[in-house]
Every structure is written in C-alpha cells, then in structure tokens.
C-alpha cells in the first residue's frame, strides 16, 4: 500500500490518500502535513497533439502516441481524448487506426485514452464558423461514413463535434447517441431551433464555446446565446488567454453554471514551440506570436492552442477559485468519459500533487500517479524509448 498526501483544493483540508493495486483504498482527513495540493489527474476532451507529436498527421506512429501519453501524464493530464479534425475519410481512418493500434500495444495508452474525439467533418462550411478546418473536406452527416470509421478503429470513436445546421442533423445525433457516442455542437452557424433540436436528440456538449464562430454576429439571436441558454448542453472552454478574454470567459461560465463547464486544452503539435512560422496538419501555414497563440498565417483565426490543461486550470483559478477550476478539468469532463477525474474509494489511483499560488500561470506539478504508478520517476530517456 502507498500513501500520497496533499491539501484539498476545494476546502484546504489535509488529505491522506491510500492506494493499493492501482486504486484508491482509503481517504483520511487531517492526518498528514504537506505543502502541496492534491487532486485527481486532469481529463482533457480535446488534444490534437503536443511537443511535436501530431495526431492528425499520417506520419504519426504508434510510438508517437505512446510517447504523447507519457508526456501528458507527467504534466498532469492522465486521461485525454485524441482529437481528429476534418479531413478526407482515408486520412481520418488512418489516424484513428494508429491510435487504436497504440491502445492495443500499451496498457497505459489504453487507460489514458478511453476513446477518440472527432471534431468534424460535419461542421459549418462558412468562413469564421469553420475556423482552421479545410473547407474542401467539410461534408454533411453520414451514418455510413461514421460506421466505416468506427469499424476501422474497433469502435474507438466516443465523441463527435458537429454543426446541427445540416438537414437530418437531429436524426444523425439521435443515431450516434443510441450508440453511446457523446455529441457536441461546435463550429456552427445553426439557428436556435436547430440547436434545441440537437439537444432534444441527445447532444450534451458545446465544443470550445465562443470559438469556431464568426467574428461578427447579430446581437440576438445567435449561436452563442442559444447554446449558453440551453441547459441540456455543458460547455467546453479553452482558457489560454487568446481564444477568450478573461472577462468573456468568466461571464460565459457564470451564465452556463460552473457545474456545466469543462476546460479543454485544444493543444496541437506546435504547443510549446518558439515564435515563428510553421507548417502544421491542423491549420496548414501557421504563425506562433509573442503571446504563444497559434494562428493561420495572414489571419487572426486560431489553429488550436499552445497550452496544456494545467495552464488553463491556473488561468481559471485566478478568475474564480482553484477548487472550481480543478472541477472543470477533472470530474466535469470525466463525467463524459467513464467517470474519470474523481477522488473516491474504488476509483483508479490517477492523482496529481502540485504547487500553485494566485497569480501563477500554470500548476507546478510535483508528482503524478497513474493507476498507482508514480510517473514523475520516469526519465526522459525512458519516455523516448
């Protein structure tokens, strides 16, 4: 049996977590003294890549996926959904196949990646709403195409982002929900009626709300108000300081209700890279500016983010509270992927300890435990093998 200690971010109380055989076997209060916070491992529903590894590239290998899992774990993200964006069917299928093969080959990958998120291709074809997705590959919903992609990856797709403006969208949503797929609305110019119909059919989320939308909108109605007002939809937010201003994010979270807010990174392969011009599978020709934001060259359109989830948690903690921010990055997203991100007896021992003070722009992760295994003991040499 192992013991890991820290302060509860919600209450400040000291916690002693007992771990055996990869699960939490006990939680004791006030019995240890620690100068770190403790929380469940972070859960990220939207990861396109990180640290040079691009999940949307056909050059991505099984080894790359295994390495990405370990790198993100050491940064506190113990569960994440690889996110495959709008592309030709063959390319999407190839990317899905690589992830499926990595899960089959590596138990840690299998644990860290419960399913895959398809962001597209059934999104808005309109400029602005479409974001960095290639317009030539945007297409209407197709049950046949979805079945083909699922068959090729062993039913690994667990979340789909789409725009419900397409004819037959509600029926498509209902069919996916019937298969246990989480449907999220995003990159959409849909009307209020179409958004409500999708929610009635079982859609449960809004993908990076406030982004993937035109720069100028009617005051009302518009897709932002309609999704904020729809209580059947939780909302994902990218808290990198570029996708949403602090004031906008705070107001939208308050409108949606903190219990229905989810933080995502939307990290891409270029996350963490220095300023300059690059070529990327997500967005094509892109530029990283002084603020670390990744934009399409010659445009203000964003092409994913340059953060990992612990950075977003710190930004939201500065605006709200540490406990609230962590809930948005653990149990709230975890509810959409097999109840991950919880700290309770019987749960997987996916735990992080970290230091954070108001004003910090990231969590200073100290130790990471994945199913009872302390990841911080891994060397870079081992991570790269």
**pLDDT recorded at residue 382:** 52
User: Residue 72 CB: number of other CB atoms within 10 A?
Assistant: 28
pLDDT in tens, 117-158: 999 999 999 999 999 999 999 999 999 999 999 999 999 999
Active-site residue set: 266
Annotated ligand binding at 269? The verdict is no
Residue with tokens 């298969």: 179
Annotated ligand binding at 302? The verdict is yes
The structure tokens listed for 259 are 């219990």
Grade residue 284 by pLDDT with cuts at 50, 70 and 90.
confident
Grade residue 385 by pLDDT with cuts at 50, 70 and 90.
very low
Annotated ligand binding at 73? The verdict is no
CA 330, chain centre distance (Å): 11
| Closest by CA position to 126, among listed 305, 304, 301, 306 | 301
pLDDT in tens, 161-215: 999 999 999 999 999 999 999 999 999 999 999 999 999 999 999 999 999 999 9
The structure tokens listed for 105 are 């080959």
**pLDDT recorded at residue 300:** 81
Q: Is residue 380 over pLDDT 50?
A: no
**pLDDT recorded at residue 377:** 46
pLDDT in tens, 231-256: 999 999 999 999 999 999 999 999 99
pLDDT (mean) for 373-377: 77
Residue 263 near residue 328 (C-beta atoms within 8 A): yes
pLDDT in tens, 4-54: 999 999 999 999 999 999 999 999 998 888 899 999 999 999 999 999 999
Cα–Cα distances in Å, from 8 out to 311, 316, 326?
Answer: 19, 17, 11
Contacts of 142 (CB under 8 A, 6+ apart): 122
Contacts of 361 (CB under 8 A, 6+ apart): 311, 314, 315
**pLDDT recorded at residue 376:** 60
**pLDDT recorded at residue 381:** 47
Annotated ligand binding at 303? The verdict is yes
| All structural domains of the chain | 41-340 (3.20.20.140)
* 114-118, 311-315, 316-320, 377-381: least confident range: 377-381
CA 239, chain centre distance (Å): 11
Annotated ligand binding at 344? The verdict is no
**pLDDT recorded at residue 383:** 54
Q: Is residue 379 over pLDDT 70?
A: no
Annotated ligand binding at 119? The verdict is yes
**pLDDT recorded at residue 28:** 95
For residues 299 and 211, give the distance between their C-alpha atoms in angstroms, rounded to a whole number: 15
pLDDT in tens, 88-121: 999 999 999 999 999 999 999 999 999 999 999 9
């Amino acid at each position: 049996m192992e013991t890991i200690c820290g302060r509860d971010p919600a209450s400040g109380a000291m916690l002693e977590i007992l771990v055996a055989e990869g699960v939490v076997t006990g939680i004791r209060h006030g019995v240890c003294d620690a100068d770190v916070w403790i929380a469940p491992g972070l859960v990220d529903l939207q990861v396109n890549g990180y640290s040079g590894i691009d999940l949307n590239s056909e050059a991505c290998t099984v080894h790359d996926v295994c390495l990405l899992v370990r790198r993100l774990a050491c940064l506190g993200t113990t569960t994440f959904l690889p996110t495959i964006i709008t592309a030709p069917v063959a390319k999407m299928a190839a990317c899905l196949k690589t992830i499926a093969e990595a899960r089959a080959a590596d138990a840690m990958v299998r644990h860290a990646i419960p399913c895959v998120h398809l962001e597209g291709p059934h999104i808005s074809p309109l400029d602005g709403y479409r974001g960095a997705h290639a317009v030539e590959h945007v297409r209407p919903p197709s049950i046949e195409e979805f079945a083909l992609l699922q068959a090729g990856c062993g039913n690994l797709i667990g979340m789909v982002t789409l725009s419900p403006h397409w004819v037959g969208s509600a029926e498509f949503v209902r069919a996916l929900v019937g298969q246990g797929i989480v449907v999220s609305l995003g990159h959409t110019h849909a009307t209020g009626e179409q958004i409500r119909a999708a929610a009635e059919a079982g859609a449960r989320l809004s993908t990076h709300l406030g982004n993937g939308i035109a720069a100028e909108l009617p005051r009302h109605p518009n897709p932002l108000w309609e999704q904020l007002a729809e209580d059947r939809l939780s909302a994902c937010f990218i808290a990198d300081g570029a996708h949403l201003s602090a004031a906008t994010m705070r107001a939208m979270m308050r409108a949606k209700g903190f219990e229905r807010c989810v933080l995502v990174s939307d990290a891409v392969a270029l996350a963490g890279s220095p300023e300059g011009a690059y070529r990327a599978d997500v967005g094509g020709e892109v530029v990283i500016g002084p603020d670390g934001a990744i934009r399409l060259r010659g445009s203000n359109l964003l092409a994913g983010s340059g953060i990992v989830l612990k950075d977003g948690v710190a930004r939201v903690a500065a605006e709200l509270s540490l406990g609230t921010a962590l809930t948005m990055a653990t149990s709230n997203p975890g509810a959409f992927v097999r109840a991950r991100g919880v700290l309770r007896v019987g749960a997987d021992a996916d735990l992080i300890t970290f230091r954070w003070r108001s004003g910090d722009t990231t969590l200073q992760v100290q130790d990471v435990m994945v199913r009872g295994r302390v990841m911080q003991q891994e060397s870079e040499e081992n991570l790269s093998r």
